[in-house]
Amino acid sequence: MKKVVGKKSERMAAYIFVLPAVILLAAFLIYPALQTVRYAFTNYNIMRPDRITFCGFDNFIEIFQDKDFWKAFTNTLYFTVLVVPFQTVLALALALLISSRRKGVSIFRAAYFSPQVTSMVVVAILWTVMYNSNPESGLLNALLVKLGFEPSGFLNDPDTAMNSIIFMSAWQGAGYQMMIFLAGLQGIPRDQYEAASIDGAGKLKSFLYVTLPGLKNVIKYVVMITVIQAMKLFTQPYVMTKGGPQNSTRTMVYYVYEQGLQKRNFGYACAVAAIFFVIVVILSLGMKKLIKAD
């Protein structure tokens, strides 16, 4: 291999090329992030930038007594814990279904991937219509009633609202992970399957002992990005439920938006955002460690 670090002038050029990205990151990511931490310790109301006063840990003390915050926190965890395995298994199942080289498979591949390229706002509005709690007008409830079940409240029932969002989110998001799994499946050498079948392994056994171990790294990667994405859940509650009913779909990011922009409680929102940031960092580091462990 050629040595990467070359002449001085080339190194100079590299820095110049990196510079715009660094400036952009600094201006739109690092600086705002630092500002967020600063405002977290103030009583900044977005209407009064002239009256920002330092208020110490007041916001944090208030947050720890704020039951809406804790509900948002547990909702976010609940969503993540449920959507990650569900979406990953769904994506893997879809990938297995279309990995064969049969005719017409490409149509299904496009179909399964299409929700992913549709805007989440559009998807959310469509699902809101399908989830309508009235069997007269909601597609899913009409189906339930036809099959002899009781209609469900879906988004209007605090017991089912989050699960409804989980289901549609997995449906929307699985296409992307499916593509990654598909690439992973193609990376498993054919001869391993042949060897397994010679040894008398059936479909299930070759899946358990060849496919899964072969996909180990891909699964780790998929789980990790899905967790981070799930923690950031915002669009679905924003479009479909406004965090309700009864707080059942309020998430951390939605709470930051609600407090900061809607209620103009900017300092408070910054404090929530800062806590959220710490949680995500801990989660990412923890997962990295787990993945490295084996």
Partner 1 sequence: MKKRAIVLLSAVSMMGIMLTGCKDAEERVNADGESVITVWSPSDEPAIEQWWVDKINEFNAAHEGSIELRREAIVRADSYAYEDKINAAITSNDLPDILYVDGPTVSVYAANEIIQPLDDMFTQEDWDDFLDSNKEQGTYNGKIYAIGATESSVALYYNKDMLDSIGVTAPDKLEDAWTWSEFKEIVKALTKDGVVGTNIIMDKGEGLPYVLEQFWISNGTDFVSEDGSTANGYVNSPEGVEAAAFLNSLIQEGYANIDPIQKEFHNGKAATMLGGSWEVATLEKDYPDLNWGVTYFPVADEGIPTSPTGDWAAAVTRDVQDLNAAKEVMNFLMSKENVATYAQAIAKPPTRNSSYEVLPEYNEYPRSLFKQQLMETGHPRPRTPSYSVLSASYAEAMVNIFTGVDPQEALDEVAEKTDRDYQKYYAN
Chain residues binding partner 1 by CB under 8 A are 9, 13, 16-17, 19-20, 23-24, 43, 45-49, 132-134, 136-138, 153, 155-158, 241-246, 258, 261-265
Residue 268 near residue 255, CB atoms below 8 Å = no
Closest CA to 74 of 229, 233, 223, 265: 233
Q: How far is the CB of 22 from partner 1 (least distance, A)?
A: 11
Cβ closer to partner 1: 155 or 166? 155
Cβ closer to partner 1: 153 or 214? 153
| DSSP output for 36-98 | HHHHTTB---TT-GGG--B-TTHHHHHHHT-HHHHHHHHHHHHHHHHHHHHHHHHHHHHHHHH
Tokens standing for 13?
Answer: 């050029």
> DSSP class of residue 238?
I
Q: How far is the CB of 11 from partner 1 (least distance, A)?
A: 12
The residues near 249 (Cβ < 8 Å, ≥ 6 apart) are 75, 155, 161, 162, 165, 236, 237, 240, 241, 243
Q: How far is the CB of 172 from partner 1 (least distance, A)?
A: 20
Q: How far is the CB of 197 from partner 1 (least distance, A)?
A: 53
Cβ closer to partner 1: 110 or 261? 261
Q: How far is the CB of 234 from partner 1 (least distance, A)?
A: 13
Q: How far is the CB of 133 from partner 1 (least distance, A)?
A: 4
CA atoms within 13 A on the CB side of 194: 3
Cβ closer to partner 1: 139 or 228? 139
Backbone angles phi, psi at 42, to 5 degrees: -125, 170
The residues near 113 (Cβ < 8 Å, ≥ 6 apart) are 175, 176, 178, 179
Cβ closer to partner 1: 13 or 282? 13
Q: How far is the CB of 167 from partner 1 (least distance, A)?
A: 18
Tokens standing for 61?
Answer: 């003390």
Cβ closer to partner 1: 109 or 250? 250
Cβ closer to partner 1: 67 or 289? 67
Q: How far is residue 250's CA from residue 230's CA, in Å, rounded to a whole number? A: 13
Give the Å distances, CA to CA, from 267 to 58, 63, 178, 232.
Answer: 10, 11, 40, 20
